[in-house]
Amino acid sequence: MKTNKTIKQITITQQDIVDVVIDELYNLGYLENINNEVNFYETVTFELIQSHCKKDIEEVLKDFKTGIDEMELEEFEFWFGFNTQGFLREINTSK
């Protein structure tokens, strides 16, 4: 009996999603006016990000053949229907 050996497996965690969004928002200058960074990092969760996406992140990722490490915000918006402006409004009002 032949066994099917895994050659490459991609693991994407909820924290990876949070990190991609935060990194991209920071790199694009959207987070320059955040006064309390500690509170910001505690506030941003996978669930909060998902609530600003038109598509289910986990469902979309099932079809991904690569990781998300190099994903840019524009791609995140495209793939998941992420509403960046709505997300930023909610973050700014929750300070």
Question: Domain ranges in the chain?
Answer: 14-93
DSSP string, 22-83: HHHHHHTTTTTT-S-HHHHHHH--HHHHHHTBSS-HHHHHTT-SS-STT--HHHHHHHH-B-
Global pTM reads 0.84
pLDDT digits (tens, 9 = 90+) for 11-52: 899 999 999 999 999 999 988 876 666 577 788 999 999 999
Banded pLDDT at 91 (limits 50, 70, 90):
confident
pLDDT digits (tens, 9 = 90+) for 47-67: 999 999 999 999 999 888 888
